[in-house]
Structure 1
Amino acid sequence: MCPMEEIVRAMNYVISQGWSMYWGTARWSPVEIMEAYTNCRQFNCVTPIVEQAEYHMFCREKAELYLPEMYNKIGVGFMAWGPLSMCLGDTQNSERLWLPKGSFKTKSQSYSWTEDEVNKEERLEETRRIFDKARDISTLAEKLGCNAMQLSIAWSLKHEPVQCLLLGATSPEQLHQSLQALQLLPRLSTGVMLEIERILDNKPVRPPPISTLALR
Protein backbone atom coordinates (compact mmCIF):
# COMPACT_ATOMS: atom_id res chain seq x y z
CA MET A 1 0.00 0.00 0.00
CA CYS A 2 1.05 3.58 -0.61
CA PRO A 3 1.95 5.65 2.45
CA MET A 4 -0.91 7.92 3.45
CA GLU A 5 1.24 11.00 2.92
CA GLU A 6 1.81 9.96 -0.69
CA ILE A 7 -1.92 9.47 -1.26
CA VAL A 8 -2.98 12.85 0.11
CA ARG A 9 -0.17 14.65 -1.73
CA ALA A 10 -1.20 12.94 -4.98
CA MET A 11 -4.84 13.95 -4.52
CA ASN A 12 -3.80 17.49 -3.68
CA TYR A 13 -1.70 17.63 -6.87
CA VAL A 14 -4.63 16.41 -8.99
CA ILE A 15 -6.85 19.16 -7.58
CA SER A 16 -4.17 21.86 -7.89
CA GLN A 17 -3.78 20.96 -11.58
CA GLY A 18 -7.50 21.47 -12.14
CA TRP A 19 -8.12 17.83 -13.03
CA SER A 20 -10.63 17.46 -10.21
CA MET A 21 -12.51 19.73 -7.85
CA TYR A 22 -12.37 17.51 -4.77
CA TRP A 23 -11.56 13.99 -3.67
CA GLY A 24 -13.01 11.31 -1.44
CA THR A 25 -12.43 7.79 -0.20
CA ALA A 26 -14.15 4.47 -0.91
CA ARG A 27 -14.53 1.60 1.56
CA TRP A 28 -12.00 3.08 3.94
CA SER A 29 -12.12 2.43 7.66
CA PRO A 30 -12.74 5.34 10.05
CA VAL A 31 -9.13 5.03 11.20
CA GLU A 32 -7.85 5.40 7.63
CA ILE A 33 -10.12 8.38 6.98
CA MET A 34 -8.91 10.11 10.12
CA GLU A 35 -5.30 9.35 9.19
CA ALA A 36 -5.82 10.92 5.76
CA TYR A 37 -7.42 13.99 7.33
CA THR A 38 -4.54 14.35 9.81
CA ASN A 39 -1.96 14.10 7.01
CA CYS A 40 -3.85 16.68 4.95
CA ARG A 41 -3.77 19.10 7.85
CA GLN A 42 -0.11 18.43 8.52
CA PHE A 43 1.01 18.96 4.92
CA ASN A 44 -1.53 21.67 4.02
CA CYS A 45 -3.35 19.49 1.48
CA VAL A 46 -7.01 19.41 0.45
CA THR A 47 -8.95 17.14 2.78
CA PRO A 48 -11.31 14.39 1.55
CA ILE A 49 -14.97 15.40 1.61
CA VAL A 50 -16.84 12.11 1.21
CA GLU A 51 -16.62 8.40 1.96
CA GLN A 52 -18.29 5.93 -0.40
CA ALA A 53 -19.46 2.84 1.46
CA GLU A 54 -21.90 -0.04 1.19
CA TYR A 55 -25.19 0.51 2.98
CA HIS A 56 -28.44 -1.40 2.89
CA MET A 57 -30.76 -3.27 5.22
CA PHE A 58 -28.24 -6.04 5.84
CA CYS A 59 -25.10 -3.89 5.99
CA ARG A 60 -25.49 -1.11 8.55
CA GLU A 61 -22.74 -0.95 11.17
CA LYS A 62 -20.21 1.35 9.53
CA ALA A 63 -22.78 3.74 8.07
CA GLU A 64 -24.87 4.15 11.20
CA LEU A 65 -22.25 4.00 13.96
CA TYR A 66 -19.04 5.50 12.62
CA LEU A 67 -19.63 7.68 9.56
CA PRO A 68 -21.92 10.16 11.36
CA GLU A 69 -19.08 10.70 13.83
CA MET A 70 -16.68 11.37 10.95
CA TYR A 71 -19.10 13.94 9.53
CA ASN A 72 -19.52 15.72 12.85
CA LYS A 73 -15.79 15.77 13.59
CA ILE A 74 -14.16 16.51 10.23
CA GLY A 75 -17.03 17.10 7.78
CA VAL A 76 -16.64 13.92 5.70
CA GLY A 77 -19.95 13.15 4.00
CA PHE A 78 -21.43 9.74 3.17
CA MET A 79 -22.15 8.45 -0.35
CA ALA A 80 -23.99 5.14 -0.06
CA TRP A 81 -24.16 2.25 -2.50
CA GLY A 82 -25.70 -1.18 -2.23
CA PRO A 83 -29.54 -1.16 -2.22
CA LEU A 84 -29.68 -2.64 -5.73
CA SER A 85 -26.62 -4.87 -5.45
CA MET A 86 -28.45 -7.22 -3.11
CA CYS A 87 -31.57 -7.73 -5.24
CA LEU A 88 -31.89 -11.08 -6.94
CA GLY A 89 -34.12 -11.96 -9.82
CA ASP A 90 -36.04 -9.80 -12.24
CA THR A 91 -37.04 -6.53 -10.56
CA GLN A 92 -39.94 -6.25 -12.97
CA ASN A 93 -41.45 -9.42 -11.54
CA SER A 94 -42.86 -8.78 -8.07
CA GLU A 95 -43.06 -12.52 -7.44
CA ARG A 96 -39.30 -12.90 -7.43
CA LEU A 97 -37.84 -12.85 -3.95
CA TRP A 98 -35.45 -10.16 -2.87
CA LEU A 99 -32.32 -11.35 -1.04
CA PRO A 100 -28.84 -10.04 -0.29
CA LYS A 101 -26.34 -11.63 -2.67
CA GLY A 102 -23.75 -12.02 0.07
CA SER A 103 -25.83 -14.75 1.70
CA PHE A 104 -24.75 -17.38 -0.79
CA LYS A 105 -21.08 -18.15 -0.12
CA THR A 106 -19.82 -21.52 -1.25
CA LYS A 107 -16.04 -21.19 -1.01
CA SER A 108 -14.20 -22.85 1.85
CA GLN A 109 -13.33 -20.46 4.63
CA SER A 110 -10.52 -22.49 6.24
CA TYR A 111 -8.08 -25.35 5.65
CA SER A 112 -10.02 -27.70 7.93
CA TRP A 113 -12.73 -29.89 6.40
CA THR A 114 -14.57 -30.31 9.72
CA GLU A 115 -14.40 -26.58 10.40
CA ASP A 116 -15.75 -25.88 6.92
CA GLU A 117 -18.68 -28.21 7.59
CA VAL A 118 -19.53 -26.31 10.76
CA ASN A 119 -19.17 -23.00 8.93
CA LYS A 120 -21.37 -24.33 6.15
CA GLU A 121 -24.16 -25.13 8.59
CA GLU A 122 -23.85 -21.70 10.17
CA ARG A 123 -24.01 -20.03 6.75
CA LEU A 124 -27.06 -22.07 5.80
CA GLU A 125 -28.80 -21.09 9.02
CA GLU A 126 -27.92 -17.43 8.45
CA THR A 127 -29.23 -17.68 4.89
CA ARG A 128 -32.53 -19.07 6.19
CA ARG A 129 -32.88 -16.19 8.63
CA ILE A 130 -32.13 -13.63 5.92
CA PHE A 131 -34.55 -15.41 3.58
CA ASP A 132 -37.33 -15.05 6.15
CA LYS A 133 -36.52 -11.37 6.74
CA ALA A 134 -36.43 -10.65 3.00
CA ARG A 135 -39.78 -12.37 2.55
CA ASP A 136 -41.32 -10.23 5.30
CA ILE A 137 -39.80 -7.06 3.80
CA SER A 138 -41.28 -7.99 0.42
CA THR A 139 -44.69 -8.50 2.05
CA LEU A 140 -44.47 -5.10 3.74
CA ALA A 141 -43.49 -3.51 0.43
CA GLU A 142 -46.62 -4.93 -1.20
CA LYS A 143 -48.75 -3.38 1.55
CA LEU A 144 -47.11 -0.01 0.82
CA GLY A 145 -47.85 -0.35 -2.90
CA CYS A 146 -44.25 -0.79 -4.06
CA ASN A 147 -41.67 -3.52 -4.53
CA ALA A 148 -38.86 -4.49 -2.16
CA MET A 149 -36.23 -2.76 -4.29
CA GLN A 150 -38.04 0.57 -4.04
CA LEU A 151 -38.55 0.10 -0.31
CA SER A 152 -34.84 -0.61 0.12
CA ILE A 153 -33.91 2.60 -1.70
CA ALA A 154 -36.39 4.71 0.26
CA TRP A 155 -35.29 3.16 3.55
CA SER A 156 -31.66 4.04 2.82
CA LEU A 157 -32.54 7.64 1.93
CA LYS A 158 -34.61 7.96 5.09
CA HIS A 159 -31.51 7.67 7.26
CA GLU A 160 -29.87 10.98 8.08
CA PRO A 161 -26.21 9.93 7.51
CA VAL A 162 -26.96 9.23 3.80
CA GLN A 163 -26.25 12.37 1.78
CA CYS A 164 -26.06 10.71 -1.63
CA LEU A 165 -27.19 7.34 -2.95
CA LEU A 166 -25.59 5.62 -5.94
CA LEU A 167 -27.92 3.66 -8.21
CA GLY A 168 -27.26 1.52 -11.25
CA ALA A 169 -29.67 0.52 -13.99
CA THR A 170 -29.57 -1.74 -17.02
CA SER A 171 -32.44 0.05 -18.77
CA PRO A 172 -34.36 3.35 -18.66
CA GLU A 173 -37.33 1.44 -17.27
CA GLN A 174 -35.32 0.13 -14.33
CA LEU A 175 -33.96 3.61 -13.62
CA HIS A 176 -37.48 5.05 -13.67
CA GLN A 177 -38.67 2.31 -11.34
CA SER A 178 -35.83 3.06 -8.92
CA LEU A 179 -36.51 6.80 -8.96
CA GLN A 180 -40.14 6.15 -8.04
CA ALA A 181 -38.81 5.23 -4.59
CA LEU A 182 -38.65 8.99 -3.90
CA GLN A 183 -42.45 9.05 -3.87
CA LEU A 184 -42.38 6.45 -1.11
CA LEU A 185 -40.44 8.61 1.36
CA PRO A 186 -43.47 10.48 2.80
CA ARG A 187 -45.14 7.15 3.51
CA LEU A 188 -42.25 5.85 5.60
CA SER A 189 -43.71 7.03 8.87
CA THR A 190 -42.24 6.31 12.28
CA GLY A 191 -44.54 3.32 12.54
CA VAL A 192 -43.37 1.87 9.22
CA MET A 193 -39.70 2.40 10.10
CA LEU A 194 -40.25 0.67 13.45
CA GLU A 195 -41.92 -2.24 11.66
CA ILE A 196 -38.90 -2.56 9.35
CA GLU A 197 -36.60 -2.52 12.39
CA ARG A 198 -38.70 -5.25 13.98
CA ILE A 199 -38.39 -7.41 10.86
CA LEU A 200 -34.66 -6.85 10.39
CA ASP A 201 -33.74 -7.07 14.08
CA ASN A 202 -30.16 -6.04 13.26
CA LYS A 203 -29.82 -2.45 14.43
CA PRO A 204 -26.10 -1.94 15.08
CA VAL A 205 -24.97 -1.13 18.60
CA ARG A 206 -21.58 0.29 19.46
CA PRO A 207 -19.66 -2.13 21.73
CA PRO A 208 -19.07 -0.87 25.26
CA PRO A 209 -15.63 0.62 25.93
CA ILE A 210 -13.14 -1.68 27.63
CA SER A 211 -11.45 -0.26 30.69
CA THR A 212 -7.67 -0.56 30.62
CA LEU A 213 -7.79 -1.19 34.37
CA ALA A 214 -9.68 -4.41 33.75
CA LEU A 215 -6.84 -5.67 31.54
CA ARG A 216 -4.19 -5.28 34.23
Structure 2
Amino acid sequence: MEYRRLGRSGLKVSILSLGSWVTFDTQVDDELAVKCIGAAGDAGCNFFDNAEAYAGGKSEEIMGRAFRELGWPRWSYVLTTKLFWGIHGDVPNMRNTLNRKYLMHAIDGSLERLGDDFVDVVYCHRCDPDTPMEEIVQTFTEIIEHKKAHYWGTSEWTADEVRSAIDIADRHGWHKPVTEQSQYNLLERRKVEKEFARITDDFGYGNTIWSPLASGLLTGKYADGIPEDSRGALEGYEWLQDRLSDQDVIERVERLRPISERLDCSMAQLSLAWATKHPMVSSVITGASKVEQVEQNFAALDVIPKLDDDVMGEIDEALGR
Protein backbone atom coordinates (compact mmCIF):
# COMPACT_ATOMS: atom_id res chain seq x y z
CA MET A 1 0.00 0.00 0.00
CA GLU A 2 1.18 3.49 -0.83
CA TYR A 3 0.51 6.28 1.66
CA ARG A 4 0.21 9.89 0.51
CA ARG A 5 0.21 13.11 2.48
CA LEU A 6 -3.19 14.70 2.83
CA GLY A 7 -2.46 17.92 0.98
CA ARG A 8 0.38 19.76 2.65
CA SER A 9 -0.50 18.39 6.07
CA GLY A 10 1.74 15.79 7.64
CA LEU A 11 -1.10 13.26 7.79
CA LYS A 12 -0.56 10.21 5.58
CA VAL A 13 -3.50 8.28 4.18
CA SER A 14 -3.67 5.03 2.24
CA ILE A 15 -4.05 5.51 -1.50
CA LEU A 16 -7.14 3.29 -1.38
CA SER A 17 -9.60 3.76 1.47
CA LEU A 18 -13.02 2.54 2.60
CA GLY A 19 -16.19 4.61 2.91
CA SER A 20 -19.67 3.82 4.15
CA TRP A 21 -21.98 5.81 1.87
CA VAL A 22 -24.98 3.73 0.69
CA THR A 23 -23.62 0.48 2.13
CA PHE A 24 -23.56 0.78 5.94
CA ASP A 25 -27.01 0.03 7.42
CA THR A 26 -28.58 -0.25 3.95
CA GLN A 27 -26.54 -3.29 2.93
CA VAL A 28 -23.96 -3.78 5.70
CA ASP A 29 -24.83 -4.67 9.30
CA ASP A 30 -22.51 -4.74 12.30
CA GLU A 31 -21.11 -8.21 11.66
CA LEU A 32 -20.38 -7.52 8.00
CA ALA A 33 -18.93 -4.08 8.81
CA VAL A 34 -16.36 -5.72 11.08
CA LYS A 35 -15.38 -8.12 8.30
CA CYS A 36 -15.22 -5.43 5.60
CA ILE A 37 -13.20 -2.98 7.70
CA GLY A 38 -10.94 -5.84 8.79
CA ALA A 39 -10.35 -6.90 5.18
CA ALA A 40 -9.49 -3.33 4.22
CA GLY A 41 -7.10 -3.08 7.14
CA ASP A 42 -5.44 -6.33 6.09
CA ALA A 43 -4.79 -4.74 2.69
CA GLY A 44 -3.07 -1.78 4.34
CA CYS A 45 -5.99 0.67 4.41
CA ASN A 46 -5.72 3.24 7.21
CA PHE A 47 -8.37 5.77 6.04
CA PHE A 48 -12.07 5.25 6.79
CA ASP A 49 -14.70 7.75 5.72
CA ASN A 50 -18.17 8.43 7.07
CA ALA A 51 -20.74 11.24 7.38
CA GLU A 52 -23.41 12.35 9.78
CA ALA A 53 -26.05 12.08 7.06
CA TYR A 54 -25.24 8.52 5.96
CA ALA A 55 -28.24 6.39 6.94
CA GLY A 56 -29.38 9.18 9.26
CA GLY A 57 -26.45 8.65 11.63
CA LYS A 58 -26.68 4.85 11.72
CA SER A 59 -23.60 4.51 9.51
CA GLU A 60 -21.47 6.27 12.12
CA GLU A 61 -22.91 4.04 14.83
CA ILE A 62 -22.11 0.86 12.89
CA MET A 63 -18.58 1.98 12.06
CA GLY A 64 -17.92 2.98 15.66
CA ARG A 65 -19.08 -0.40 16.97
CA ALA A 66 -17.00 -2.17 14.31
CA PHE A 67 -13.80 -0.45 15.39
CA ARG A 68 -14.49 -1.30 19.02
CA GLU A 69 -15.08 -4.93 18.05
CA LEU A 70 -11.84 -5.01 16.05
CA GLY A 71 -9.95 -3.53 18.99
CA TRP A 72 -7.51 -1.59 16.83
CA PRO A 73 -5.48 1.06 18.68
CA ARG A 74 -6.90 4.48 17.81
CA TRP A 75 -3.55 5.76 16.55
CA SER A 76 -3.45 3.08 13.86
CA TYR A 77 -6.20 4.44 11.58
CA VAL A 78 -7.60 7.71 10.24
CA LEU A 79 -11.31 8.30 10.88
CA THR A 80 -13.32 11.03 9.15
CA THR A 81 -16.87 12.33 9.06
CA LYS A 82 -18.77 15.10 7.28
CA LEU A 83 -21.26 17.71 8.50
CA PHE A 84 -23.88 19.86 6.75
CA TRP A 85 -27.15 18.10 5.90
CA GLY A 86 -28.32 17.44 9.47
CA ILE A 87 -30.37 14.52 10.75
CA HIS A 88 -33.01 16.20 12.90
CA GLY A 89 -35.59 16.94 10.24
CA ASP A 90 -36.56 20.33 8.88
CA VAL A 91 -35.53 22.27 11.97
CA PRO A 92 -34.14 25.83 11.81
CA ASN A 93 -30.35 25.92 12.35
CA MET A 94 -30.04 22.14 12.17
CA ARG A 95 -30.37 21.37 8.46
CA ASN A 96 -28.36 22.31 5.37
CA THR A 97 -26.16 24.75 7.26
CA LEU A 98 -22.67 25.38 8.60
CA ASN A 99 -23.59 27.93 11.22
CA ARG A 100 -21.78 27.75 14.54
CA LYS A 101 -24.77 26.45 16.50
CA TYR A 102 -25.30 23.54 14.15
CA LEU A 103 -21.62 22.61 13.84
CA MET A 104 -21.06 22.51 17.60
CA HIS A 105 -24.10 20.25 18.07
CA ALA A 106 -23.28 18.14 15.01
CA ILE A 107 -19.65 17.35 15.88
CA ASP A 108 -20.69 16.23 19.37
CA GLY A 109 -23.45 14.06 17.89
CA SER A 110 -21.07 12.41 15.42
CA LEU A 111 -18.49 11.68 18.10
CA GLU A 112 -21.18 10.18 20.33
CA ARG A 113 -22.39 7.91 17.52
CA LEU A 114 -18.84 6.92 16.62
CA GLY A 115 -18.03 6.33 20.29
CA ASP A 116 -14.86 8.37 19.95
CA ASP A 117 -13.31 11.50 21.41
CA PHE A 118 -12.23 12.94 18.06
CA VAL A 119 -12.11 12.41 14.31
CA ASP A 120 -8.94 12.92 12.36
CA VAL A 121 -10.65 14.98 9.65
CA VAL A 122 -14.05 16.68 9.74
CA TYR A 123 -15.40 17.81 6.38
CA CYS A 124 -18.01 20.39 5.40
CA HIS A 125 -20.26 18.12 3.35
CA ARG A 126 -21.26 21.13 1.23
CA CYS A 127 -20.68 24.87 1.44
CA ASP A 128 -23.29 27.15 3.02
CA PRO A 129 -23.91 30.46 1.24
CA ASP A 130 -26.08 31.68 4.13
CA THR A 131 -23.33 31.52 6.75
CA PRO A 132 -20.41 33.97 6.58
CA MET A 133 -17.19 32.23 5.60
CA GLU A 134 -15.49 33.83 8.59
CA GLU A 135 -17.96 32.10 10.93
CA ILE A 136 -17.36 28.74 9.24
CA VAL A 137 -13.56 28.95 9.42
CA GLN A 138 -13.57 30.21 13.00
CA THR A 139 -15.89 27.42 14.12
CA PHE A 140 -13.80 24.68 12.57
CA THR A 141 -10.74 26.25 14.18
CA GLU A 142 -12.50 25.98 17.55
CA ILE A 143 -13.46 22.36 16.86
CA ILE A 144 -9.79 21.58 16.24
CA GLU A 145 -8.60 23.56 19.26
CA HIS A 146 -11.17 21.74 21.42
CA LYS A 147 -9.47 18.52 20.21
CA LYS A 148 -12.59 17.16 18.54
CA ALA A 149 -10.77 16.94 15.20
CA HIS A 150 -7.18 17.18 13.98
CA TYR A 151 -7.89 18.71 10.55
CA TRP A 152 -10.81 20.04 8.57
CA GLY A 153 -11.70 19.87 4.92
CA THR A 154 -14.36 20.53 2.32
CA SER A 155 -16.56 18.40 0.09
CA GLU A 156 -17.96 19.55 -3.24
CA TRP A 157 -16.96 23.16 -2.61
CA THR A 158 -15.97 25.40 -5.50
CA ALA A 159 -12.36 26.43 -5.88
CA ASP A 160 -13.36 30.03 -5.11
CA GLU A 161 -14.99 28.97 -1.85
CA VAL A 162 -11.90 27.03 -0.81
CA ARG A 163 -9.66 29.96 -1.66
CA SER A 164 -11.88 32.29 0.40
CA ALA A 165 -11.66 29.98 3.43
CA ILE A 166 -7.88 29.73 3.15
CA ASP A 167 -7.50 33.51 2.78
CA ILE A 168 -9.64 34.15 5.87
CA ALA A 169 -7.73 31.55 7.88
CA ASP A 170 -4.40 33.12 6.88
CA ARG A 171 -5.67 36.59 7.78
CA HIS A 172 -6.73 35.57 11.30
CA GLY A 173 -4.17 32.86 12.02
CA TRP A 174 -6.89 30.21 12.09
CA HIS A 175 -6.73 26.58 10.95
CA LYS A 176 -6.98 26.25 7.17
CA PRO A 177 -8.85 23.44 5.41
CA VAL A 178 -6.36 20.92 4.06
CA THR A 179 -8.37 18.74 1.70
CA GLU A 180 -11.37 18.53 -0.61
CA GLN A 181 -13.57 15.48 -1.20
CA SER A 182 -14.77 15.60 -4.82
CA GLN A 183 -16.44 13.16 -7.13
CA TYR A 184 -13.80 11.90 -9.54
CA ASN A 185 -13.80 9.01 -11.96
CA LEU A 186 -13.18 8.18 -15.61
CA LEU A 187 -16.50 9.79 -16.53
CA GLU A 188 -16.40 12.80 -14.18
CA ARG A 189 -13.10 14.69 -14.32
CA ARG A 190 -13.65 18.42 -14.73
CA LYS A 191 -13.66 19.49 -11.09
CA VAL A 192 -10.47 17.73 -10.04
CA GLU A 193 -8.49 18.17 -13.23
CA LYS A 194 -9.62 21.68 -14.21
CA GLU A 195 -11.32 23.70 -11.47
CA PHE A 196 -9.06 22.58 -8.61
CA ALA A 197 -5.78 22.51 -10.52
CA ARG A 198 -4.80 26.04 -9.42
CA ILE A 199 -5.88 25.44 -5.81
CA THR A 200 -3.65 22.38 -5.68
CA ASP A 201 -0.71 24.24 -7.22
CA ASP A 202 -1.10 27.27 -4.95
CA PHE A 203 -1.93 25.55 -1.66
CA GLY A 204 -1.09 21.86 -2.09
CA TYR A 205 -4.75 21.12 -1.39
CA GLY A 206 -5.47 17.40 -0.98
CA ASN A 207 -8.41 15.43 -2.37
CA THR A 208 -9.95 12.21 -1.04
CA ILE A 209 -12.13 11.43 -4.02
CA TRP A 210 -15.51 9.66 -3.92
CA SER A 211 -17.51 7.59 -6.45
CA PRO A 212 -14.43 6.33 -8.33
CA LEU A 213 -16.64 3.70 -9.98
CA ALA A 214 -19.43 6.17 -10.88
CA SER A 215 -21.88 4.36 -8.57
CA GLY A 216 -20.92 1.04 -10.16
CA LEU A 217 -21.31 2.13 -13.78
CA LEU A 218 -17.59 1.63 -14.43
CA THR A 219 -17.72 -1.98 -13.25
CA GLY A 220 -19.63 -2.94 -16.40
CA LYS A 221 -22.35 -4.70 -14.41
CA TYR A 222 -25.09 -2.47 -15.80
CA ALA A 223 -24.51 -3.44 -19.43
CA ASP A 224 -27.53 -5.76 -19.38
CA GLY A 225 -29.77 -3.71 -17.10
CA ILE A 226 -29.87 -2.95 -13.37
CA PRO A 227 -29.23 -6.08 -11.24
CA GLU A 228 -31.59 -6.56 -8.29
CA ASP A 229 -28.77 -6.61 -5.73
CA SER A 230 -27.03 -3.50 -7.08
CA ARG A 231 -26.93 0.08 -5.79
CA GLY A 232 -29.16 1.21 -8.64
CA ALA A 233 -31.97 -1.05 -7.39
CA LEU A 234 -31.93 0.23 -3.81
CA GLU A 235 -34.95 2.08 -2.47
CA GLY A 236 -34.16 5.78 -2.23
CA TYR A 237 -31.55 5.67 -4.99
CA GLU A 238 -33.94 5.77 -7.95
CA TRP A 239 -32.26 9.02 -9.01
CA LEU A 240 -29.27 6.93 -10.14
CA GLN A 241 -31.24 4.81 -12.56
CA ASP A 242 -31.29 7.18 -15.52
CA ARG A 243 -27.49 7.41 -15.49
CA LEU A 244 -26.99 3.71 -14.90
CA SER A 245 -29.21 2.85 -17.86
CA ASP A 246 -27.81 5.46 -20.27
CA GLN A 247 -26.89 3.31 -23.28
CA ASP A 248 -24.48 5.86 -24.75
CA VAL A 249 -22.46 5.92 -21.52
CA ILE A 250 -22.65 2.14 -21.15
CA GLU A 251 -21.27 1.70 -24.68
CA ARG A 252 -18.36 4.01 -23.86
CA VAL A 253 -17.62 2.10 -20.67
CA GLU A 254 -17.68 -1.21 -22.54
CA ARG A 255 -14.77 0.00 -24.67
CA LEU A 256 -12.65 -0.37 -21.55
CA ARG A 257 -13.31 -4.09 -21.29
CA PRO A 258 -10.62 -5.19 -23.79
CA ILE A 259 -8.05 -3.09 -21.89
CA SER A 260 -8.96 -4.63 -18.55
CA GLU A 261 -8.90 -8.13 -20.04
CA ARG A 262 -5.45 -7.56 -21.51
CA LEU A 263 -4.19 -6.31 -18.12
CA ASP A 264 -5.81 -9.32 -16.40
CA CYS A 265 -7.98 -7.22 -14.12
CA SER A 266 -11.64 -6.32 -13.71
CA MET A 267 -13.07 -3.09 -15.06
CA ALA A 268 -13.57 -1.95 -11.48
CA GLN A 269 -9.90 -2.54 -10.67
CA LEU A 270 -8.86 -0.71 -13.83
CA SER A 271 -11.01 2.28 -12.87
CA LEU A 272 -9.76 2.40 -9.28
CA ALA A 273 -6.14 2.12 -10.37
CA TRP A 274 -6.68 4.90 -12.92
CA ALA A 275 -8.05 7.24 -10.24
CA THR A 276 -4.91 6.86 -8.12
CA LYS A 277 -2.68 8.00 -10.96
CA HIS A 278 -3.64 11.64 -10.72
CA PRO A 279 -1.13 13.48 -8.49
CA MET A 280 -3.91 15.64 -7.01
CA VAL A 281 -5.60 12.57 -5.48
CA SER A 282 -4.62 11.79 -1.89
CA SER A 283 -6.91 8.77 -1.49
CA VAL A 284 -9.56 6.95 -3.50
CA ILE A 285 -12.58 6.11 -1.34
CA THR A 286 -14.03 2.71 -2.21
CA GLY A 287 -17.32 1.22 -1.10
CA ALA A 288 -18.38 -2.40 -0.72
CA SER A 289 -21.34 -4.43 0.48
CA LYS A 290 -19.40 -7.72 0.66
CA VAL A 291 -16.00 -8.78 1.96
CA GLU A 292 -15.23 -10.16 -1.48
CA GLN A 293 -15.79 -6.70 -2.97
CA VAL A 294 -13.35 -5.18 -0.49
CA GLU A 295 -10.72 -7.74 -1.43
CA GLN A 296 -11.35 -7.27 -5.15
CA ASN A 297 -11.22 -3.48 -4.87
CA PHE A 298 -7.95 -3.46 -3.00
CA ALA A 299 -6.46 -5.87 -5.54
CA ALA A 300 -6.43 -2.78 -7.78
CA LEU A 301 -3.13 -1.99 -6.05
CA ASP A 302 -1.54 -4.61 -8.30
CA VAL A 303 -2.92 -2.88 -11.41
CA ILE A 304 -1.46 0.57 -10.71
CA PRO A 305 2.08 -0.28 -11.95
CA LYS A 306 0.60 -1.54 -15.22
CA LEU A 307 -0.88 1.85 -16.10
CA ASP A 308 1.98 3.45 -17.99
CA ASP A 309 1.58 6.45 -20.29
CA ASP A 310 0.62 4.27 -23.22
CA VAL A 311 -2.17 2.52 -21.31
CA MET A 312 -3.43 5.81 -19.85
CA GLY A 313 -3.61 7.20 -23.38
CA GLU A 314 -5.44 4.10 -24.58
CA ILE A 315 -8.01 4.53 -21.82
CA ASP A 316 -8.63 8.14 -22.83
CA GLU A 317 -8.98 7.14 -26.46
CA ALA A 318 -11.47 4.40 -25.60
CA LEU A 319 -13.65 6.92 -23.78
CA GLY A 320 -13.35 9.48 -26.54
CA ARG A 321 -11.35 11.97 -24.50
The verdict on how the C-alpha distance between 1:41 and 1:20 changes in structure 2, with shifts beyond 3 A counting, is same
* 1:176 aligned onto 2:295: yes
Aligned counterparts of 2:253 and 2:316: Cα–Cα separation in 1: 12
The one-letter amino acid of 1:66's match is E
Superposition pairs for residues 63-102 of structure 1, below 5 Å? 63-88=192-217, 97=223
Give the counterpart letter for 1:105 in structure 2: D
8 A Cα contact 1:52 1:78, kept in partner? yes
TM-score by length of 1: 0.75
Gaps of 5+ in 2: 1-129, 226-231, 233-238
Question: What percent identity do the matched residue pairs reach?
Answer: 30
Which residue in 1 is equivalent to 2:242? 105
Deviations 1:162-191 (A, max 9, x none): 111111111221101000001001111211
User: What CA RMSD, in Å, does the superposition of the two structures yield over aligned residues?
Assistant: 2.6
Counterparts of 1:76 and 1:37 in 2: how far apart (Å)? 10
In structure 1, stretches of 5+ residues that fail to align are: 107-123, 203-216
**What does residue 52 of structure 1 align with?**
181
Residue 104 of structure 1 and its aligned partner are, at CA, apart by: 4.6
Instruction: Quote the Cα distance in structure 2 between the aligned partners of 1:176 and 1:98.
Output: 25
> Which protein is richer in helix relative to its size?
1
Q: Which amino acid aligns with 1:150?
A: Q
**After TM superposition, which residue ranges in structure 1, 4 or more long, deviate above 6 angstroms?**
none
Q: Which moved more, 1:175-184 or 1:136-145?
A: 136-145
| C-alpha contact (below 8 Å) 1:98/1:135 kept by paired residues | no
Amino acid corresponding to residue 277 of structure 2 in structure 1: K
Bigger proportion of residues as strand: 2
Q: How many residues align?
A: 180
Q: Show CA shifts across 1:44-70 (max 9, x none).
A: 210000000000011001111132321
For 1:85 and 1:198, the matched residues in 2 are separated by: 19
Q: Which segment is superposed worse, 8-17 or 154-163?
A: 154-163
Structure 2 residue 284 is matched with structure 1 residue 155: no
Q: What are the Cα deviations for residues 84-141 of structure 1, in whole angstroms up to 9, with x where unaligned? A: 343159x6xx776399x788539xxxxxxxxxxxxxxxxx9xx333122111112321
Matching residue within 153, 166, 173 for 1:37? 166
